[in-house]
Amino acid sequence: RKEVEQDPGPFNVPEGATVAFNCTYSNSASQSFFWYRQDCRKEPKLLMSVYSSGNEDGRFTAQLNRASQYISLLIRDSKLSDSATYLCVVNPTGGFKTIFGAGTRLFVKA
């Protein structure tokens, strides 16, 4: 089993739609969680950290479910500019090694 697993997609949604991605992780002791965004042929950039209580940043909401060992990302009112690959990132050991999922591709269509 991979340490971090994501649905690769692609997710094809129209503008204005709400879309959700899930990511599961295998190490129950994992301490830190993030979502990064990667545009085609570009470097990854932090989208948001994921906190135990859940957190929201504009149209983006991230949640953590420790019991089921998954994190989620909800995007509301999708924009064309949201088209990208969304990478789930987990810090599994409390050290500084970070594990990236393979990413979920999102295409937002006009």
Name which position in 60, 70, 100, 107 contacts other proteins (CB under 8 A). 100
**Are the C-beta atoms of 63 and 71 separated by less than 8 Å?**
yes
Q: Which is nearer to other proteins, 14 or 95 (CB)?
A: 95
Does residue 8 touch other proteins according to CB under 8 A? yes
Name which position in 28, 43, 67, 110 contacts other proteins (CB under 8 A). 43
Using CB atoms within 10 A of its CB, is residue 86 exposed (0-12), middle (13-18) or buried (19+)?
Answer: buried
Shortest approach of other proteins to residue 103 CB, angstroms?
5
Does residue 103 touch other proteins according to CB under 8 A? yes
